[in-house]
Amino acid sequence: MAAGVLTEERQRPGRLRTLLSLRARLTWRQYTGERGRIVAVLLILIIMLPLTLGLGVASAIGYLRLPEPLPATLLAVVLAGLWVAWIIIPLTAFSLNEGMDMTRLLIYPLSRRELTGAMLLGTLFDPPTYFMLPLFLAIVVGWAASPALLVLVPALLIAYVLMILTSQIVITMLGGVLTSRRFRDVFVAVSAILGMSCYFIQRGFAALISRFVEPDEITSLQLLPSLRWLPPGSMAQAIVSAADGDWGTALLWLGYGLLWLLLLAWVWWQLSTRLITGGGFLLKGRPRARQEERARPRGASRSYGWLPADLQQLMAKELRLIWRTPQRRIGFLQGFLFPLLMGGYALIGSGLPQEVPPWIGLFLPIFALFSAWIAGQNGLGMEGKGLPFVLLTPVSRRRFWLAKGIVLFVLTSAPALLVGLALLAIQPSWQSVAGLLSVPGIVLITLGISNLGSIFFPYPVQTEGRQIRSNARGGCISGLGNGVLMPTVIGLACLPPALFLAGGQLLSTPWLGLVGGLFSLVYGAAIFVWPGVVVAGRLLLQREAELVAATSPLQGG
């Protein structure tokens, strides 16, 4: 009886609809779950929509107006580019969109046909599908006027299915890796570094093209003979051959594309079967036991006898959290990398050393201020889930702030000091010396005041995702406090040393600037110690319960 009911239920046609509706709902909630994400989606739409529409219009004009053989090259590049995009995009969105994870459906009595249908049709709910629509429409517009029309529709359909199949193979094969923490960490690091250095990558790419391709050759560039061997590239060749009236060759290439389709469908089927029958993903990521073994030595921690043990442990904790939270690690590495990249590029590109104005050294403290301001914000929220644990212990709250301050001081002042030393080496000037002397003081001022900001304007953050995500619970006051009030207070607190430096420059009195540099050191240390450690320590002790509630959710029960 029960088996009969089950069989009957298995054949109910509404299940595919339910699966598709689930996929649509999960995709939608992926973007609407948090207020911050809606803003991100709107920004993406504002940027991506005109971009894809523009690309669509430009490629359509290209197909119609460019001289031979460029339309064929463009077609091959567009289809191959879309194919690559379909491979990459699921990699970046997999952990965000639960709908892509087929393993979650395996506990239900779903047939393979239902799962397959849900996965393929589910791509209709993926935004990338619609971002590529203008490019597909442009192909129709650009090639429909030619005799290729008959081949165009099947070729584009085959190309689309090839793209989906390839992306599904990637997901089915790498699902275990994509959901792993290790992949997420690497992804965060790679995307941050790529994001930061895209300007330099673009310059390098342009240099490579100009080196290997002569301007005359661009007009006769033929990429189709190479790209046509790729799955969607073959469809470009079929369309181009049909447009030339070479129907035999066009059909041959369509057949070649169909062969690719069958092959990829077979591979995907095998991988899905393995997944559905409990074999798991093909690649699962490194076994957990091995993940940390290589990097992390056992045994006693290193001891620095001249520092109190609790201060050492708090500093070690701070350093480890920064280094092991990829978003924070990258943030600090960027502080070091950015001046290095800029300096390297300037040195190689334009012989900048001779052109460095001496007053540039006075901007060193500003660079340091920004680094320290970003690093010192929301110090309690950045403790994540661990904050209540520290507050459960009787450790001195002053030591807590002191340890945090020492670590952040070293990490945020070091890049500015390195730049300052480089400036001094390139072109010695009193401004560079004064700027260099002011850096530690300015960093101490900023960190000291940021500690107070962390107490007055805390907000919870999640460091387990791909970005450090703040929670809307932080609220408007917290946003205003951190975004407006704290920078203003920091700016005002930095005014005295800034006046010394500005006075030295404007009145052409180097000694004033140099005294300002030394003054900022003493003044910064005082601000760091008094409000930043002593007062912040006292306030922390008084407000622990409220701060725990503000930075990490407590569950009642």
Judged by the rule CB under 8 A, the positions of this chain that interact with other proteins are 181, 288-289, 291-293, 296-298, 300-301, 303, 309-310, 312-314, 316-317, 320-321, 324-325, 383-395, 464, 541, 544-546, 548-549, 552-557
Give the residue with the Cβ less far from other proteins, 480 or 545.
Answer: 545
Give the residue with the Cβ less far from other proteins, 17 or 320.
Answer: 320
Contact 76, 69 (CB under 8 A): no
CA angle 192, 197, 200 (to 5 degrees): 170
Instruction: Copy the structure tokens of residue 530.
Output: 């008094």
- Give the helix ranges, DSSP H, for 179-197: 181-196
Q: How far is the CB of 171 from other proteins (least distance, A)?
A: 23
Calpha distance 33→458 (Å, rounded): 22
Contact 434, 516 (CB under 8 A): yes
Q: How far is the CB of 117 from other proteins (least distance, A)?
A: 30
Calpha distance 96→159 (Å, rounded): 26
Contact 155, 254 (CB under 8 A): yes
Give the residue with the Cβ less far from other proteins, 26 or 311.
Answer: 311
Contact 310, 399 (CB under 8 A): yes
Collect all residues with Cβ–Cβ distance below 8 Å to 145 and sequence separation of at least 6: 64
Q: For 461, phi and psi rounded to 5 degrees? A: -130, 150
Q: DSSP states of 215-235 as a string?
A: HHHHTT---HHHHTTSHHHHH
Give the residue with the Cβ less far from other proteins, 228 or 328.
Answer: 328
- Residue 243 half-sphere exposure, CB side, CA atoms within 13 Å? 22
> 461 pairs with which residues across the strands?
470
Tokens 């006898």 identify what position?
305
Calpha distance 397→455 (Å, rounded): 12
Give the residue with the Cβ less far from other proteins, 129 or 313.
Answer: 313
Contact 365, 438 (CB under 8 A): yes
Contact 230, 77 (CB under 8 A): no
Contact 95, 178 (CB under 8 A): yes
Calpha distance 34→38 (Å, rounded): 7
Q: How far is the CB of 406 from other proteins (least distance, A)?
A: 16
Q: Is 299 left (phi over 0), alpha (psi -120 to 50) or beta?
A: left
Tokens 């895209």 identify what position?
198
Give the residue with the Cβ less far from other proteins, 68 or 293.
Answer: 293
The DSSP 8-state label assigned to residue 302 in this structure reads: P
Q: DSSP states of 368-433 as a string?
A: HHHHHHHHHTTTTGGGGGGHHHHHHS---HHHHHHHHHHHHHHHHHHHHHHHHHHHHHHS--HHHH
Calpha distance 498→519 (Å, rounded): 10
Give the residue with the Cβ less far from other proteins, 121 or 548.
Answer: 548
Tokens 């922390």 identify what position?
540
Calpha distance 421→423 (Å, rounded): 5
